[in-house]
């Protein structure tokens, strides 16, 4: 798959390494730590939709989650493997695209996305959402963190209503929080954190009847 090496993402990981990439904080994302500390997410089968250098999945593996994760960048996955090796944890690490998840249907209790969905092209957004929906067990949860409009107008800076509209046919939104985060380049960026629950077949179809 030569195009994989040509993506900007793989180039970025090759050229700069995690220490120089703004989203690589070198510590697990606070929102994830909070979900685990509060018990809102408990150990089970979890899918991280883009691992980068692996900080979040390694954190979860240390907390006894059974972690599968992937990234389109081979170099990022290499960094993640090394991080898992040093931490002495087992993680299922794949070089793959979140637009074509190489896992089974209904395999996961929890999936999360820190910074993937807002990079998905508009015409692939439904594919992304369907893929995530497909790999989650009924009633399990998906946690999304994506850019908000507060960062300024852009095709991938979302308003709350857009998120509700995009995900609403597949997930019941439990809560949405608008948050800011000081990223690795010293810039504060704005995000929506969205906790949602997979509609089971019956609730999705009853929704269609509304
Ligand atoms: C903003 S970074 C976030 C990384 C990580 N979640 C974190 O919070 O540190 C986005 C990641 O998505 C990966 N990526 C981009 N397109 C992808 C795709 N189609 N499938 C899987 N990963 C992809 C990039 O290689 C990069 O590691």
Determine the distance separating the centroid of ligand 1 and the alpha carbon of 207, expressed in angstroms: 32
Cα separation, 188 vs 182, whole angstroms: 4
φ/ψ (deg, to 5) at 112: -145, 160
For range 44-71, the mean pLDDT: 98
Which atom of ligand 1 lies closest to the CA of 73? 25
- pLDDT of residue 173 exceeding 90, the answer is yes
Report how far ligand 1's centroid is from the alpha carbon of 115 (Å): 7
Question: Model confidence at 19, in pLDDT bands (50, 70, 90)?
Answer: confident
Kindly report whether the global pTM for this prediction surpasses the value 0.85.
Answer: yes
Measure Cα distances from 153 to 119, 148, 186 in Å. 15, 9, 20
What does the pLDDT average to over 65-79? Answer: 97
Q: Which of 71, 94, 114 to mutate to test the pocket of ligand 1 (most atoms within 8 A of CB)?
A: 71
- For residue 192, the cross-strand partners are 146, 178
Q: Is 116 in the pocket of ligand 1 (CB under 6 A)?
A: yes
Q: What is the pLDDT of residues 76-111, one digit of tens each?
A: 999 999 999 999 999 999 999 999 999 999 999 999
| Domains, the chain, with CATH or none | 4-209 (3.40.50.150)
């Amino acid at each position: 798959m030569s195009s994989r090496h040509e993506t900007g993402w793989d180039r970025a990981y090759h050229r700069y390494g995690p220490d120089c990439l703004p989203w690589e904080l070198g510590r697990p994302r606070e929102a994830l730590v909070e979900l685990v500390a509060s018990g809102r997410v408990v150990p089970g089968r979890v899918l991280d939709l883009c691992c980068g250098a692996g900080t979040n999945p390694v954190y979860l593996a240390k907390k006894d989650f059974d972690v599968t994760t992937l990234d389109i960048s081979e170099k990022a996955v290499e960094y993640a493997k090394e991080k898992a090796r040093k931490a002495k944890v087992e993680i299922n690490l794949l070089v793959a695209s979140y637009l074509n998840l190489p896992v089974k249907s209904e395999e996961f209790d929890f999936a999360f996305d820190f910074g993937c969905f807002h990079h998905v092209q508009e015409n692939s957004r439904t594919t992304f959402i369907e893929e995530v929906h497909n790999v989650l067990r009924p009633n399990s949860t998906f946690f999304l963190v994506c850019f908000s409009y507060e960062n300024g107008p852009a095709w991938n800076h979302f308003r709350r209503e857009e998120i509700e509209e995009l995900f609403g046919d597949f997930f019941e939104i439990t809560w949405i929080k608008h948050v800011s985060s000081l990223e690795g380049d010293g810039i504060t960026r704005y995000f929506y954190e969205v906790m949602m629950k997979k509609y089971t077949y019956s609730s999705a179809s009853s929704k269609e009847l509304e």
